[in-house]
Amino acid sequence: MKITVFSAKPYEIELFIAADYKSFEFQFIADSLDNHTVETVSCGEVVCCFVVDQLDSQVLNKLAQQGVKLIALRSAGYDHIDLKVAKGLGLMVVNVPSYSPQAVAEFSIGMLLALTRKIIQAHDKIEKFNFSLTGQLGFNLAGKTVGLIGTGHIGSVVAKILTGFDCKLLAYDVTPNDFCKSLGVTYVNQETLFRSADIISLHCLLNDSTRYIINSKSLALMKEKVVIINTGRGTLIDTKAIIAALKSGKVGALGIDVYEYERGLFFKDHSSETITDELFLQLQAMSNVLITGHQAYFSQEALGSIIKTTLENILAFQNNILRNQLV
């Protein structure tokens, strides 16, 4: 079976090959899947895609015309694919529903600590041999109220970790989690969470009800100097609104591993280029903003789990078995 892997990175290719699936013939494409590459690449029966790949109606129709039967996502999220169109075309779509909540949760806490204790600023000063503590005063997590938006696989692990910091935990989720309740998490409505939390961490799915959940109106409800962490999806936050809130001092610190306009920016080396995204440049210039390039998932354990589950999904399809099917 021929499998075309788009957005293939060397560290992924190594694991795919090492798995040694004899019945699979891989075609690794470094470029992302989009309207151009779908025209230039002859795909096999299976295409394997990442979050940066474009899977809109136009691309899906072209894949179907090429004889593609299965789209195997190397991600849990699927907001980058039009599932309704895929279903109408008879394309099966599978994902990796839970590859390592621990990796993303630990990274979220790492971001939080880096911001609240001003670790990045300290590192930058030490590089210049400036050992003064001026401007480095942070605050403890103990006793702070943390609001979690989303308490699924990742959010529940974040809650578990934060109990060790002696935080008061509030959460908003359309489906409350019994495990989180057992940890002492109190479920509240959005307004109560926004008004009460010293720290807000986003771990929800991206859909019509959560898109721009952090916007000018919700920001206005929040405490002064609130800290916001987003390791979920970029468009959970209205970028223009958060920049205004950072400039006014309403938001004390922001940690983002995802960005509203990350497509074409993240997962590539632009060090020899000029970045023209003015919103990104404004965020990058702020000392109280920590930006990472969608790497919260990127641990040895998580990457291994992603490749393993992806291959198992494809093997199941080959054997006419339904596994982790979205449509």
Average pLDDT in the chain: 97
Q: What is 101-291's CATH superfamily?
A: NAD(P)-binding Rossmann-like Domain (3.40.50.720)
80 catalytic? Reply is no
Tokens of 16: 């795919």
127 catalytic? Reply is no
Domain 2-99+300-319 coded CATH 3.40.50.720: yes
Active-site choice (74, 153, 203, 294): 294
Active-site choice (12, 74, 260, 262): 262
User: What does the alpha-carbon distance between residue 149 and residue 108 come to, in Å, rounded to a whole number?
Assistant: 13
Convert the pLDDT of each residue in 65-84 to its tens digit: 999 999 999 999 899 999 99
- Would the pLDDT of 40 be above 90? no
301 catalytic? Reply is no
Convert the pLDDT of each residue in 215-239 to its tens digit: 999 999 999 999 999 999 999 999 9
Q: Where in the chain is the domain with CATH 3.40.50.720?
A: 2-99+300-319, 101-291
What is the CB-side half-sphere exposure of residue 130 using CA atoms within 13 A? 11
Percent of all residues in the chain with a pLDDT value above 70, rounded to a whole number: 100
Taking only Cα atoms into account, the Rg of the chain, rounded to an integer number of angstroms, comes to 21
Check residue 230 and give its pLDDT: 99
User: What does the alpha-carbon distance between residue 131 and residue 323 come to, in Å, rounded to a whole number?
Assistant: 55
CA distances 54 to 22, 73, 240, 327, Å, are: 29, 12, 24, 17
Check residue 100 and give its pLDDT: 85
Tokens of 297: 């998932």
- Would the pLDDT of 146 be above 90? yes
Q: How far apart are the first and last CA of the chain?
A: 21
Which of 113-117, 211-215, 251-255, 262-266 comes out lowest in average pLDDT? Answer: 262-266
Active-site choice (123, 233, 260, 263): 233
Confidence at 317, pLDDT banded by 50, 70, 90 = very high
Spatial CA neighbour of 3 closest among 67, 39, 58, 46: 46
100 touches 302 (CB < 8 A):
yes
